[in-house]
Structure 1
Amino acid sequence: MRDINLFTIRVFVMVYESLNSLSVANALNVAPSKISRCLSALRHALGDPLFIRRQYGFEPTPTADKLYPYFQQILCLLGQINENTGEAGTAPQRHYIIYAPPTLSCRLGTVLKKRAAEERQELSLSVRPLSATGPEDLLQGRADLMLSFKASEKERLDSRFIATGERLYIVARDDHPIWQRPPNNMLDAIINYPFLVTECPAFNDRIDPLELYALDQGRQLKLAGKAGVLSEVSDYLMDSDAITFIGATTAAEYLQHFPGVTMREMSEPEFNLLHDRCPPPNYYVIGRKEEGAVPEWLMTSLCDFVHESVTKPPQTHQGGANDIFPSQFSPSMAG
């Protein structure tokens, strides 16, 4: 890693956010070959391609997804050091910190960066894991926005309702027996297997809909464990009979990169049955009430991202079951 310098880190972050190496070269005023050399050095050091070339441009690998928040934090800290020591030549750019649950963290930074470019706005941001201290961090200025499953009761915070979840993906290893079940008759079989919980503050505070469904059937749901980040999910699933649910399309798309994992979107009849006594989650964005704390275009873009991830387009509401999506499935589920 001795060949990895701050410039290489900056190149990686910019390529991750733009998914276009030529635009990064233009922005940094360097030859495209220099960008290629930086990425090659990083690929060699990490033993990972980092970006896969697709028809529509680059696509980050899971390693790149994991690396991005750490490298972004390095650049953020460097900027703070320069600001505090008076070395910054221009007025410091406003840096926004957004707290998000694991299922909504994937691609969030990239999507908001693209929207900023469309708005001809400069945007520097960090996406950090949602935690129980989120509301207090907002009040103290340590964070700017928070995606949550419930509204805040604090007087100085404003909670904006985004949507109620309408999607749920069943995820298990490729050769799991659950895939032999009819798509419209899976719930009764799912509760026979250990269930992996993705940790989400506020959402996990209540009884899980599947746990309540199992109790209604006179059964006790067995928990396989808890995953704090999506990258841990495949590790749990690959070596066990565990099953998990993912409630956002962006998270499901992220998991498609892990070989050996299959997912199927739950049919609408079973989705409704699962949430008969425990409603699906609500999604809110929470921020400080003070005027101008966050640009309205950024707030709107964040709400649009969440809404598109957790709801179905009107024409897709139907009673039939959805297809199975094995690992590396195509085309994109966001289409």
Structure 2
Amino acid sequence: MNVDRIDLNLLRVFNIVYEERNLQRAARRLNLSHSAVSHALGRLRDALGDELFVRTASGMQPTARAQAMAAPLRNALQQIGGALGNEPFAPATAERDFVIAATDYVTLLLLDRLSAQLQQLAPRVNLVIRPSTRIDLAGQLDLGRIDLAIGVFADIPPRFNAMPLWTQTDTLAMRPGHPLAGRPVTADDMAAYPLIAVSLGGAEEGAVDGFLSERGLARESDMFDRAALPDTARLRMLVPHSLAVPSLLRSSDMLALLPSSVSRLFVEREGLVASPLPYAARSRRMQAIWHTRSDGDPALDWLRSQLPDYQSATE
């Protein structure tokens, strides 16, 4: 095959279709019509002698040839962009989507403020929030389907970069009027009152020491330090969403074991009462991670530059 006959624009179309697995979404990202994307794919299929993508009920599924091409082509396009020099990002006029993976409470704590900031500085930029709980997070970052993931990570492979956001530990929260409200909680109290905590996946889903590992990336599954929990404490309820906790506490005398950042948020917005733990728990660092491939992308560099301003959200 003569490489000189391949239009570079066709490879760019291939890259976006591979990431989106949907022609309509790819067309929006490329600012092209659906028919133009289909035509470009057809030209590339003819040049390579392969279907590249097969239409299925779940989207455009890549063939074996497309799977083998994807990563090298993505890296080559990134190198070409770096060699030519990327255009500066102009937030006031830019039109694009930023895709961020985050939990429900991170969305409330951090991303609603970021959204307000974008509305002021980049009114045509959209935020797309993906759940960081039930997806192959590392795989989504590898494919370029996610620009940024926010969470607590134990291991970060070298193909990803990380930026610390804030540090949190465990605290207790309870309803107003709880028998323990207004005084320090003791170890005996924790034995007397059952606990509710947040867990996104246990040992049955492959979690080890409170973390799930995928493709070398270990992300937090238990949103509390399970190892530090006293033997006498009783975990009555584990829920996958922190935002369910306030309503569950209002109708019971359970204590909620929560990250300190979440506890402060619920004290402020839900009227809960917070209390320190009667035992020592490890602190955990919340981080934003991204693929090294996006280093030097002016738009993503700008997006990451907005995050440090929001460390005050946990103070």
> Is the TM-score greater than 0.5?
yes
Q: CA deviation at 1:237?
A: 1.8
1:283 match: 286
Could you say which residue in structure 2 is the equivalent of 1:182? Answer: 183
Paired residues in the alignment total 216
Q: Give 2:249's aligned residue.
A: 237
Match of 1:253 in 2: 265
- C-alpha distance in 1, partners of 2:222/2:27? 44
Q: Could you tell me how far apart the structure 1 residues matched to 2:253 and 2:197 are?
A: 14
Per-residue Cα deviation, 1:302-323 (whole angstroms, up to 9, x for no partner): 2432x3234x4xxxxxxxxxxx
Aligned to 1:263: 273
Give the Cα separation in 1 of the matches to 2:290 and 2:100.
Answer: 10
1: CA distance, partners of 2:166 / 2:269:
27
Matched, 1:83 2:28: yes
TM-superposed CA distance for 1:102, in Å, is 2.8
Q: Match for residue 302 of structure 1?
A: 307
CA distance in 2: counterparts of 1:157 and 1:263, whole angstroms: 38
* 2: CA distance, partners of 1:104 / 1:82: 30
Kindly indicate whether the alpha-carbon contact (under 8 Å) linking 1:101 and 1:200 is maintained by their aligned counterparts in 2. no
The code of the aligned residue for 1:300 comes to S
Q: Structure 1 283/190 Cα, relative in aligned 2: closer, same or farther at 3 Å?
A: same
Kept in 2, the 8 Å contact 1:169–1:263? The answer is: no
* Map 1:36-55 → 2, pairs under 5 A: none
Secondary structure of residue in 2 paired with 1:150: strand
Contact map agreement 1:147 1:286 (CA 8 A) in 2: yes
- In structure 2, list runs of 5 or more residues that go unmatched: 1-21, 35-92, 202-210, 212-218
Distance 1:135 1:148, change over 3 A: same
The answer as to 2:89 corresponding to 1:104 is: no
| Contact 1:103 1:247 (8 Å CA) reproduced | no
Q: What's the secondary structure of 1:224's corresponding residue?
A: strand
Q: Which moves more between the two structures, 170-179 or 117-126?
A: 117-126
For the residue of structure 2 that corresponds to 1:246, the secondary structure is strand
Contact 1:106 1:250 in 2 (8 A): no
Work out the CA distance in 2 between the residues paired with 1:192 and 1:133. 39
Determine if the alignment matches structure 1 residue 214 to structure 2 residue 230: yes
1:82-136, CA deviations, whole angstroms, 9 ceiling, x for partnerless residues?
Answer: 738828xxx9932111111233110533311332345456421122322252121
**Which TM-score applies when normalising by structure 1?**
0.53
Alpha carbons of 1:231 and 1:165: their partners in 2 closer, same or farther (altered >3 Å)? closer
1:125, 1:97 → 2: CA distance? 6
Checking the alignment, whether the CA contact within 8 Å between 1:83 and 1:92 is kept in structure 2 is no
Question: After superposition, what is the alpha-carbon deviation per residue over 1:23-66, rounded to whole angstroms, capped at 9, x for unaligned?
Answer: xxxxxxxxxxxxxxxxxxxxxxxxxxxxxxxxxxxxxxxxxxxx
Tell me the residue number matched to 2:55: none
Counterpart CA distance in 2 for 1:141 and 1:250 is 29
Identity %, equivalent residues: 16
In structure 2, how many angstroms separate the alpha carbons of the residues matched to 1:257 and 1:241? 20
- Which amino acid counterpart does residue 189 of structure 2 have in structure 1? A
In 1, distance between residues paired with 2:223 and 2:272? 26
Q: Mark the structure with the bigger radius of gyration.
A: 2
Higher strand share: 2
| 1:153 equivalent in alignment to 2:165 | no
Q: What is the TM-score of this pair, normalised by structure 2?
A: 0.56
**Which digits, 9 at most, give the CA deviation of each residue in 1:160-194, with x for residues without a partner?**
2333226x553222232221x623x4454134321
Q: Is the 8 A contact 1:152 1:286 kept in 2?
A: no
CA apart distance, 1:244: 0.8
